[in-house]
Structure formats: C-alpha cells, structure tokens
Amino acid sequence: MTYKLYDSFLSASVKNKKLLAILVDPDVFNVSETNIFLRKLPKETTHIFVGGSTVENGKTEKVVSEIKKNTSIPILLFPGDVSQITNNADGLLFLSLLSGRNPEYLIEQQVKSVSKLRNSSLEVISTGYLLIDGGKTSAVERVSKTRPISQKKIQQIVDTAKAGEYLGMKLIYLEAGSGAKIPILPEIISAVKNELKIPLIIGGGIKSEKQKQDAYKAGADLVVMGTVFEK
C-alpha cells in the first residue's frame, strides 16, 4: 500500500496550500455528460469525491470508471455505506460517524467492508466524520438515525474531533450536511483546527467563493463543494 493521497494532504497542510474537492453524488450524476462536468470543474479542484447517503447499487462503479477515464484528478470514495465501495477509485475516506451513537455507522459498516478492501488497491484513509447541525434535516441524519451536534456546542465538537485524532484517525471531516442552510461556522473551524495535528475537511452548504475562503482562513485544509455543482 502506498500513501500518496494522504501524503499529499499532509504536505499541503504543512505548506498551507488549500485543497478543494468537488463531490459527485452518483445518483444524480449523468455519465454521458462526464466531459462537460470535467470542463466545468473549478481550476483549483484538487480532488473529486464520489458518494452519497443512498446510492443505487452499482452506480458508483460506473460513475467512477467514467470520470477516471477522462481525468487524472484523484478520485476518493466518500461512501454512505459499504455498497458504494469500488476498487476503481484511488482512495477511500474510511469514515466513522463519531458525532452519533449508532454502532452501525461507528463500526458495523466498516467491519462489513473488509472483505471488499482486503485485496483492493484503494488507499484507505481513516476519517473521523462529525455531523454538525446545518439548519435543516440532512440526508446523513435521516440515514444514520443520529442527531447532529449543535453549532453552539463548540467544546463538544472540539472534543469529539480530538478523540478521533487520539484514536489514530488521519483526517477529521466536519459535515454540515449536503445543502445545509448554515455551513460550519468559522469559529468552530478555528477551534477544531487549533487542537488538531491532522488535516481538517469542511463541507456542507458551501456555495460561494466567500464561504469557501472563510473556511480556509479559519483553518480548513480541504473544502468540499457538492450541491452548487450539481446544477
């Protein structure tokens, strides 16, 4: 196993070079328009994430193959469940939903994925995933049957992220939920970043250049944008 993707996250974080991932939801992605999608990607895009809370079986593999054929931008799976793991991507955010207390998304889906991962060449990156209240019920909340942490509970968010780092996780992802009304507030991003030694991913409800820059300034190493590019 090589750690090319994670090493690039670490070195970007050290050099303060900001990363941008565009998230593709395989359920709404039109494979016949892959080239149009790739042409429209912001030039600063460093990664393509592929995943959704619920995706029709087999769709992720088709979408990843088609994107892979047409670009050299690294593709990372961001799976809602084990059915979305496909070997043809470059890497996998191996998520554990640390904000919730549902064992299915803390460890059960991860155990179920091992038979698929054992012989795969995917770079598996352990990621502590925290769902934060983005002002509306998110798909993650519905599917995982867990409550998000309120943006007012900054200490709880910081402690949960830090617990992920102590557990040996390699990345922390603060998620306000796809299409969130309120993205993760800059004060939360800085509070978490101040305590972490590992790179920090921020996503959910980021639609404008200003919101993206605010997240970077507060300490996000990588920003994820999805909904705004689905249109």
Regarding 224 and contact with ligand 1GP (CB under 6 A), the answer is: yes
Closest to ligand 1GP by CB, 11 vs 137, is: 137
Site for ligand 1GP in 191-210 (CB under 6 A): 203-206
Nearest distance in Å: CB 25, ligand 1GP: 8
Looking at the Cβ atoms of 143 and 168, the one nearer to ligand 1GP is 143
Residue 149 — φ and ψ, nearest 5°? -85, 135
230: Cβ contacts below 8 Å, ≥ 6 apart = 25, 28
Euclidean distance between CA atoms 131 and 98, whole angstroms:
8
Shortest approach of ligand 1GP to residue 176 CB, angstroms? 7
Q: In the range 18-47, which residues lie near ligand 1GP by CB under 6 A?
A: 23
Closer residue to ligand 1GP, CB minimum distance, 3 or 230: 230
User: Least distance to ligand 1GP from the beta carbon of 119, Å?
Assistant: 28
**Cα–Cα–Cα angle for 223, 96, 86, nearest 5°?**
80
Output 12 or 143, the one with its CB closest to ligand 1GP: 143
Output phi, psi for 96, to 5 deg.
-130, 125
Whether 23 and 51 have beta carbons less than 8 Å apart is answered as yes
The single residue among 93, 178, 189, 200 that binds ligand 1GP, judged by CB under 6 A, is: 178
Q: How many Å apart are CA 179 and CA 181, to the nearest integer? A: 6
The residue (of 3 and 46) whose beta carbon lies closer to ligand 1GP is: 46
Q: Given candidates 89, 93, 180, 192, which one binds ligand 1GP under the rule CB under 6 A?
A: 180
Query: Least CB distance from residue 215 to ligand 1GP, whole Å?
Result: 11
Nearer to ligand 1GP, 110 or 179 (CB): 179
| Measured distance CA(164)–CA(1) in Å, rounded | 23
Residue 138 CB, shortest distance to ligand 1GP, in Å, is 8
Interface with ligand 1GP in residues 49-108 (CB under 6 A): none
Q: Which one among 81, 133, 175, 214 touches ligand 1GP, defined by CB under 6 A?
A: 175
By the criterion CB under 6 A, which residues form the site for ligand 1GP? 23, 175, 178-180, 203-206, 224-228
